[in-house]
Structure 1
Amino acid sequence: MGKAKQNAEATISDVALHAGVSTATVSRVIAGVGYVAVKTREQVNKSITALSYQPSSIAQSLRRQSSTMIGLILTDIQNPFYPEMVRGIEDEVQRRGYSLILCNSADDSERENSYLDFLASHRAAGIIVCADGVLKRHRKKLLAQRAKIILVNVQKEDSDLPTVSSQDFEGGEIAAKHLVACGYPKIIYIGNGSEKEFGSLRLDGVKKGAGKVKFEIVFSDDTLQAGARIADEIAKKFNPPYGIVAHNDLIAIGAMHHFVEKKIKVPQQVGIVGYDDIALSAYVTPGLTTINQNQYDLGTEAMAMLDDLIKGVKVKKKRMIPSELVLRSSTTKI
């Protein structure tokens, strides 16, 4: 065996010198490809241990033209819808031997573009997109990626990309039908900015569920504060009783807080149904009736589907996760 430096970070050349073999032999041992005699393989592994050599994952990715990196692009990590879904993805990533990098796009086109460039340059094996803006603004770039792509819970599906979604149409329909069954004579849907521009299956479902009951649509940002603001506008424009379906729980909770502050009775005068069943929904007063999208299952299913794509297994274009009505105190028979 030759002598190799041990103070500085060891290189593949150091391992080859220490083991008395060529760098090509060390590469074959590390990659697990090609023929290497058993004794030689053992000697190389001993040298790797002795020198505490760590192969460069980036260099290996470049040689293989892929890596074990999975990119996850979200719209806003502060939105409490995401943690359970991310946990589901991460659990499957770990179980299946990948590594995860989280990309918080903040609905910023330049940031989205830079994330896609980063994932491409690092030969990401797959990308999970849970951000409508990425699909709308960078569809061509997504389709040009070497990585396999899965869309999760985007508001409008794409014919060229596999999608894992909750039953958004059915969830919206269930929410509206519940309010109609409670006896609220008008249904108001609070949509978000994306729905104002592009519509959504959820909005379509609410419209169908409202049936012949009077139906109104207003739009808001996806925050507690925006929910309170839009509730103020609703209270000034419409006389109760009426039922509200909100695009998400944050909007619903913000709206409910405003109504309670203004002495408008929830649920006797205004019934409210949220969407997502975030943890906070069970702890506000009154408790928020909402639609559970099974976010953890969305995450695990998305990563399982992506793993199949990476391995060359044929997958269905669309997988659906059931949505369920969770009854609490923000709705009642009137």
Structure 2
Amino acid sequence: MQFGIYSVGDVTRDPSTGRTPSEAERLQAMVRIALKAEEVGLDVFATGEHHNPPFVTSSPTTLLAFIAAQTSRLILSTSTTLITTNDPVRLAEEYAVLQHLSGGRMDLMLGRGNTAQVYPWFDKDIMQALPLALENYDLLHRLWREEEIDWEGRFRAPLRRFTSIPRPLDGLPPFVWHGSIRTPEIAEQAARYGDGFFASHILWPKGHFQRLVAFYRSRYAYYGHGTEQDAIVGLGGHIFVNRQSQIARERFRPFFDNAPVYGHGPSLEEFIEQTPLSVGSPQEIIDKTLTFREQFGDYQRQLFLFDHAGIPLPEVLDMLELFGSEILPVLRRETARARDSRAAPAPTHARRLASTTALQ
């Protein structure tokens, strides 16, 4: 089981001070957060991809390569890479470079994004978002597995005897997660290829995501990749922690009320009750997180949002310190104790390479 953090990279005014960080400050803060994640024992750091204000994460591979150069163990990922508005050829090239530079400590999550205006900026039609996502990944999958490709589709120029460079590290393409909050066709594609499926699990009630994950698991088995327990599932979540529960809620409330993702909708209490949002003491965070396995079965990756909505960097680092010292060890112990021995392990380059070698 992998535990990690993901960031949407928003530049948001701190409602408690009225100060908005600069773009440079926000990017450097994300680097500091990633380094702290490795320091406290987390497994994964993931960044979103956005091409519009108020975000700074327009170049995930650049940011992740910079972090890879300063870390030794952390897996670098995305949350998500835009499979619709990016050219699959560039994705194949850029993420292969990142794979080599990080020594295999990377994977990526693909998604359609949630910003409509991005599509025309990249000469794409949002009405074709789902066909774009499906076709582009079909091509990306082949680019990493075929030395010389002939291809023709609806949304980009044909390829003739094309080789994507560099080739994947050790001949093993990066592991891919398909992220979705509502689309069974994406879960179907993940299952067909034997890839991972990531349910962001932060905005909607659990029943919605339970249905998507159950569908993915059933289709994963249908396509012959193993049993439903062998399917690779990731979940999102959001944490705001303080040693005292009441202080946590009082401190987080203004951030929640003004958040780009949450703000101006249901109350904080409603969100805590209905979604994975966890605000409270370390024990409350532990108790709620452990219910995810009860709801979804054994899964492989749990990512948490820590830094959204203008929470100042020192406070994020303090929360990560508390999480690493008092929450993470309990989550590791309890999930390992309860885990079915038949459940698939979390994907890493080394583990996948060993498995591939053993089959040859």
TM over 0.5, shorter chain: no
Q: Under a length normalisation based on structure 1, what TM-score does the superposition of the two structures give?
A: 0.31
Q: Under a length normalisation based on structure 2, what TM-score does the superposition of the two structures give?
A: 0.29
Q: Highest Rg: 1 or 2?
A: 1
* Greater length-normalized contact order (CA 8 Å, ≥ 6 residues apart): 2
